[in-house]
Amino acid sequence: MAAGRRLGSVNVNDGRVGRYILSCPLIRKDKSGIHVPGLSFTYLRTRRNWRSYRDYANVTALTCTYVSLFHIRTYRTGLMIRQLTLALGILSFLAISAFPLLANQECADPLGCVEVGPDDPIVVGAMLVVSGPINYLGEDTLGGVELALLARDYTLLGHEIELVVEDSLCTAEGGQAAAQRLAADPTIVGAIGTNCSSAAQGAMPIISGAGMVMIAPSNTSPSLTNEDIEAGGSHLPGYFRTSQNGLIEGMRLAEFAALALEAETLATVHDGDPYTEGLARSVANTFTDLNKEVVYEGAVNKGDTDMASILTEIAVHQPDVIYVPLFEPESNFFAAQMVHIAGLEDTIIIGGAASFASNFPKNTGEAAIGIYVSGPLVSGAAYEEVLAQWKEEYGSDPPSGYHAHAYDATNLLLNALEAVAVVKENGGVTFGRQAIRDAVAATEDYPGLTGRLTCREDSPFAGDCSPGTALAVFVITEAEVFDDNWPPPVAWNFAAEAVD
Amino acid sequence: MFKWRSDDFSWVDFTIDVLRVLIVLGVVVGAWNTLSSGRISFAQWVNLFAAGLSQGSIYALIALGYTLVYGILLMINFAHGEVFMAGAFSTVFLAEALNRTGFLNEQPVLAILLMIAFAGLVSMSVAILLERIAYRPLRGSPRLVPLITAIGASFFLQYTFRGLYGSGFKAYPGVKALQGVIQIGGISIPVVQVFVFCAALLLMLCLYWLVERTRVGKAMRAVSENKEVARLMGIDIDWVIMFTFGVGGFLAGSAGVINGLFRPQGVNFYMGFIPGIKAFTAAVLGGIGNIPGAMLGGLFLGVIEAIGPNLVLAGLGIPGANQLKDVIAFTMLVLVLIFRPQGILGERLSETKA
């Protein structure tokens, strides 16, 4: 063996006979014999006749401690002076940077204000999925945000609007990182995002703690708008969304399964993500309330490719319908492998909005034909106009179905900014952070693309602004699998049902 | 085992023995409960077994690459999962093109051979470049160094392929000739699973022949035995090592295509990570450095993963058994290492190899 071997807290390198490197905190003695404080190691000459490494480690651990203590004593004076200088430096820096804040008496908002200078732009943040396998969702919503800004010519109150986009990925860590970058910038008035509920879980505490607002265009996890922490809620002030709550989506889908498909038994499968788990639970609850039976509730792991074992387990229970709100590629594997499972020949799959992407039928292949997927369905003249503008701007169709929600989210934020802006004589603008929150929360009956938006404050729906009607069930046909057709035909339109 | 005499009694040995008994007991009780309840029919068990065998033969093909390299260089090539991904991901585009022109369904045999050759070549080039650029310069260094390099190379390859082909998911097109099922007395096994198993078996036999019956195979065995002596006998060691990486890469690439036929979805830059880890487990299970061991280990792991959750865990009343598939796989690894530290087929290795 040639490499250094770790023994207790001591690193031993026996590459040369009689010469060892020991890791000791705080001291380093380099080859020239100079001691330098720092986290490093020291060379020690040792006797050759020690019997084993274990003995050696015990002895040298003590030696190491002794040597460290000795050197700390030697350098204590020097360290103290350096630390004092550093502390003084930090204190004076803090004092200098706090001075303008103390001098500013104009802002009376309890959460502070955003000051925009006479020639400065108004900065809007966005936390979206820029990279990763579901970046089509980020692309889709970013397009919605940009078109909403374009509709106002990128100007608000005579100031230019600047958009800062951070990648929130589709994970809690990604959301946290994106929120931290936005919260670090004091000029940002508010944020659109996130796409994924998991990212929102990470971002919300930071955005809320910084006194900002975030308006999410495609979160659906019920916990995000639930204030009851014991019931799994995680809502914090400053969080709003224009996408429908999973509770409502789940309710509607359970009704669809029970009434339209006349299913008697249901199985649900999620993947542990707050988004899919919330939806699965909500569908199962409503289905039970309709006096039908939920025969199986299970989950797969993200990254699983083999669905045979869970499908065999589900086949034991013989459900009429399986609700599978999974993401790609688990959703593909699930649907494709179900074909081979005996006992599930007549079972119908309902997919979640995560499967509402043109890739899903293409990648799943023939097995996707006849699968129902829920997804946003927006209609109306105003929406057609935005859609035409999208074509003109980007030269293609929107890659997913949440651009209208993002468009509405952006307008809610811009309207709130307009309502609370205090314009100064020199042309500068001041926004109170609490005032922005209150203004968004006060949104009532706003005619958006996705319906008439009213932001609610009652707990399981705190921050929910969506009317919950821009939702439909689509059925995948051969055209989507083989001929690049998108979106698929509508099988059930909840907006139409709601009007009745 | 079972050294409970009072003079050399140790609590550690005792605990391990108790653990062994408990695990064996758990497996027996779980399996008994499941089988006696009759929840899952015989036909379904056969289906699970067949799917497990197919998955296992893919693990085995990848595991061979680990074991070949370990046999010769005594290093774990952790980037091998990415070599598999390179072939699988690149060939998905060829498969799409073949499908568009209709060639895939008119001449399925030729088309699949073409895909395997292409994927094999891509993976082979990646493996050879990896050896030449990342591993050869470090050959004399301590064993930790190439290990860390391999992990770095693994990330490098993942993100290179993400840059090349994007981060979205792709899927292999379905081959009509492989759809449908074979009926044997009330049991239906998908044709594709039979094909996957046979193709993998054929490749493994070819490898066995290559190593045991050809001159270059003899050279590989000689280098694996003792590099210095092999050099003295006139064997070009650098070339043999490169050849070994190439063979491992070819097997991984063909495993990529076979995997694409078996589980067409989920092709992306990250797809090599989990199969890589599983194949490494399979190689250790079978006895790392041992070629038949890797084959057996792969098949064993695949079958255990497919049957284990429903057989043992569901029988013990553990909820969400299917999510604990990996737990079964790695528990199996721990168990085998406790009972037979050298792996199922492994020989006791000398100090330098262990």
Question: Nearest-CA residue of chain B relative to A311?
Answer: B322
Q: Give CA A76 to chain center in angstroms.
A: 47
Whether A33 has a pLDDT exceeding 80, the answer reads no
Reported as a pLDDT band with limits 50, 70 and 90, residue A60 is very low
Reported as a pLDDT band with limits 50, 70 and 90, residue A241 is very high
Same domain, A81 and A145: no
Residues A403, A81 contacting (CB under 8 angstroms): no
Among the partner-chain residues A132, A299, A364, the one whose CB lies closest to the CB of B323 is A299
User: What is the predicted pLDDT for the residue at A41?
Assistant: 38
Same domain, A324 and A267: yes
Alpha-carbon dihedral sign for residues A137, A143, A144, A149: positive
- Six-digit token pair at B323? 């999510």
Among the partner-chain residues A312, A362, A366, the one whose CB lies closest to the CB of B40 is A312
User: What is the predicted pLDDT for the residue at B168?
Assistant: 82
Percent of chain B with pLDDT over 90: 55
Same domain, A119 and A236: yes
Please tell me the total count of domains within chain A: 3
CATH number for the domain that contains residue A334: 3.40.50.2300
Same domain, A228 and A270: no
Q: Give CA A187 to chain center in angstroms.
A: 22
User: What is the predicted pLDDT for the residue at A154?
Assistant: 94
Question: SS in 3 state form for A313-333?
Answer: HHHHHCCCEEEECCCCCHHHH
* 3-state SS, residue A304: coil
Same domain, A151 and A234: yes
User: What is the predicted pLDDT for the residue at A296?
Assistant: 92
Question: How far is it, in rounded angstroms, from Cα A221 to Cα A244?
Answer: 9
Question: How far is it, in rounded angstroms, from Cα A242 to Cα A145?
Answer: 13
User: What is the predicted pLDDT for the residue at A1?
Assistant: 35
Of the candidate ranges A90-94, A154-158, B72-76, B173-177, the one whose mean pLDDT is the lowest: A90-94
Question: How far is it, in rounded angstroms, from Cα A481 to Cα B98?
Answer: 17
User: What is the predicted pLDDT for the residue at B56?
Assistant: 95
User: What is the predicted pLDDT for the residue at B248?
Assistant: 95
A2 to chain B: which residues are within 8 Å by CB? 142-143
User: What is the predicted pLDDT for the residue at B41?
Assistant: 85
- Six-digit token pair at B176? 């009509």
Reported as a pLDDT band with limits 50, 70 and 90, residue A278 is confident
Last residue of a domain, one of A73, A103, A133: A103
Q: What is the DSSP string of A359-396?
A: HHHHHHGGGGTT-EEEEE---SHHHHHHHHHHHHHHSS
Same domain, A277 and A406: no
Same domain, A118 and A204: yes
What is the residue-averaged pLDDT of chain B? 89
Note whether A305 contacts B305, CB cutoff 8 Å: no
pLDDT tens string B256-305: 999 999 999 989 899 999 999 999 999 999 888 888 999 999 999 999 99
Whether A375 has a pLDDT exceeding 70, the answer reads yes
User: What is the predicted pLDDT for the residue at B346?
Assistant: 74
Note the ipTM here.
0.85
Among the partner-chain residues B40, B55, B268, the one whose CB lies closest to the CB of A133 is B268
Question: How far is it, in rounded angstroms, from Cα A335 to Cα B234?
Answer: 56
B188 to chain A: which residues are within 8 Å by CB? 342
* 3-state SS, residue A476: coil
Last residue of a domain, one of A80, A103, A126: A103
Residues A322, A294 contacting (CB under 8 angstroms): no
User: What is the predicted pLDDT for the residue at A14?
Assistant: 42
Q: What single letter denotes the amino acid at residue A428?
A: G
What is the residue-averaged pLDDT of chain A? 81
Chains A, B: CB contacts within 8 A come to 104
Among the partner-chain residues A133, A309, A315, the one whose CB lies closest to the CB of B167 is A133
pLDDT tens string B218-248: 999 999 988 889 999 999 999 999 999 999 9
Torsion, Cα of A103, A107, A113, A114 (10° steps): -70
Question: How far is it, in rounded angstroms, from Cα B275 to Cα A310?
Answer: 19
Q: What is the DSSP string of A77-95?
A: HHHHHHHHHHHHHHHHHHH
Whether A432 has a pLDDT exceeding 50, the answer reads yes
Question: How far is it, in rounded angstroms, from Cα A306 to Cα A302?
Answer: 11
B266 to chain A: which residues are within 8 Å by CB? 305, 328-329, 332-333
Same domain, A19 and A128: no
- A72 domain residue, yes or no: yes
Last residue of a domain, one of A103, A125, A148: A103
pLDDT tens string B27-70: 889 889 888 888 888 888 898 999 999 999 999 999 999 999 99
Residues A300, A334 contacting (CB under 8 angstroms): yes
B170 to chain A: which residues are within 8 Å by CB? 363
- A339 domain residue, yes or no: yes
Mode of pairing for the β-strands spanning A113-116 and A429-432: antiparallel
Q: Does A380 touch chain B (CB under 8 A)?
A: no
Same domain, A279 and A344: yes
Percent of chain A with pLDDT over 90: 44
Percent of chain A with pLDDT over 70: 81
Whether A32 has a pLDDT exceeding 60, the answer reads no
The Cα-based distances of B118 to A253, B35, B87, B130 in angstroms read 45, 45, 8, 18
User: What is the predicted pLDDT for the residue at A68?
Assistant: 45
- Six-digit token pair at B331? 């528990």
- A52 domain residue, yes or no: yes
- A386 domain residue, yes or no: no
R_g (Cα) of chain B, nearest Å: 22
Mode of pairing for the β-strands spanning A471-475 and A490-493: antiparallel
Higher-pLDDT residue of A486, A28: A486
pLDDT tens string A97-153: 766 555 555 678 889 899 999 999 999 999 999 887 788 889 999 999 999 999 999
Q: Map out the domains of chain B with their CATH numbers.
A: 46-339 (1.10.3470)
Q: Of B265, B318, B351, which to mutate for an interface test with A (greatest number of A Cβ within 10 Å)? A: B265
State which residues form the domain around A7: 1-103
A342 to chain B: which residues are within 8 Å by CB? 41, 43-44, 47, 188
A4-43 in b/e burial notation, b at 16+ Cβ within 10 A? beebeebbbbbeeeeebbbebebbbbeeeeeeebeeebbe
Alpha helices in A214-291 (DSSP H): 246-255, 274-289
Question: How far is it, in rounded angstroms, from Cα A296 to Cα A321?
Answer: 11
- A394 domain residue, yes or no: no
Of the candidate ranges B85-89, B115-119, B145-149, the one whose mean pLDDT is the lowest: B145-149
B143 to chain A: which residues are within 8 Å by CB? 2-3
User: What is the predicted pLDDT for the residue at A24?
Assistant: 44
Whether A436 has a pLDDT exceeding 70, the answer reads yes
Greatest C-alpha distance within chain B:
76
Same domain, A366 and A257: yes
Q: Does A131 touch chain B (CB under 8 A)?
A: yes
User: What is the predicted pLDDT for the residue at B215?
Assistant: 94
pTM over 0.90: no
B309 to chain A: which residues are within 8 Å by CB? 309
Reported as a pLDDT band with limits 50, 70 and 90, residue B18 is confident
Neighbours of B337 (CB within 10 A): 13
Averaged over B179-207, what is the pLDDT?
91
Whether A248 has a pLDDT exceeding 90, the answer reads no
Same domain, A187 and A126: yes
- A357 domain residue, yes or no: yes
The Cα-based distances of A272 to A146, A276, A420, B320 in angstroms read 33, 7, 40, 11
Residue that is written with structure tokens 């250790």 in the block: B284
- Terminal Cα-to-Cα distance of chain B (whole angstroms): 21
A147-161 in b/e burial notation, b at 16+ Cβ within 10 A? bbbeeeeeebeebeb
Residue that is written with structure tokens 């891509």 in the block: B122
Among the partner-chain residues A298, A312, A316, the one whose CB lies closest to the CB of B48 is A312
Reported as a pLDDT band with limits 50, 70 and 90, residue A313 is confident
A304 to chain B: which residues are within 8 Å by CB? 325
- A387 domain residue, yes or no: no
Q: Which of residues 266-305 of A touch B (CB under 8 A)?
A: 298-301, 303-305
Whether B330 has a pLDDT exceeding 80, the answer reads yes
Same domain, A118 and A217: yes
Residue that is written with structure tokens 């914090």 in the block: A236
Taking alpha carbons only, the member of A337, A336, A344 closest to residue A365 is A336
- A147 domain residue, yes or no: yes
pLDDT tens string A479-488: 988 888 888 8
Minimal CA separation from A133 to chain B, in Å: 5
